[in-house]
Structure 1
Amino acid sequence: MERPKGSHLIAVKRILRYVKGTTNYGIMFPASDRGKECKLVGYTDSNWCGDHEDRKSTAGYMFFYGGS
C-alpha cells in the first residue's frame, strides 16, 4: 500500500484475531458412494498489470469437489 493508515492496521489486527479464533473450524464432506471417485479440481487465473493506467493486477480461483 502506498500510504497505510492507522485504520488499516486496526483492520489487519481484527482479521488476524478472527483467523486465530477459527483455526479449529473445518468443512465435513460426507463419504462418497462406494466405487465412486471424489476429486478436487481447481482452476486459477491471473492478470499481472493488465490495466496499464492504474497498474493493478487481478487473480481468481475456483475449486470443485466431487463434481459439484
Structure 2
Amino acid sequence: MIVALGLIVAFVLLLLFSRPALRKCRWRETRGADESLWRCAYCGAETKGARGVPPAVCLRDTR
C-alpha cells in the first residue's frame, strides 16, 4: 500500500513540475555588453534577453 501511495505522489509531482513547453529546449548564451543572445540548440530559435537568465518558454513556433 505504501509503494502504491509513493508512486501516485511521484506521478503527481512529475505532472506538476514538468514543463512541456521547454522539454526539448537547450538554451545557449552568447553574452553581449548589456544583454545576451540566447539560441536554442534543439530548434534554432533565437531571442535577446538578460544575462544569465534563459528564456522561460519555447520559441520554436515564433521563427
- TM (normalized to structure 1)? 0.31
Larger Rg: 1
- TM (normalized to structure 2)? 0.33
Structure with more of its chain in helix, by fraction: 2
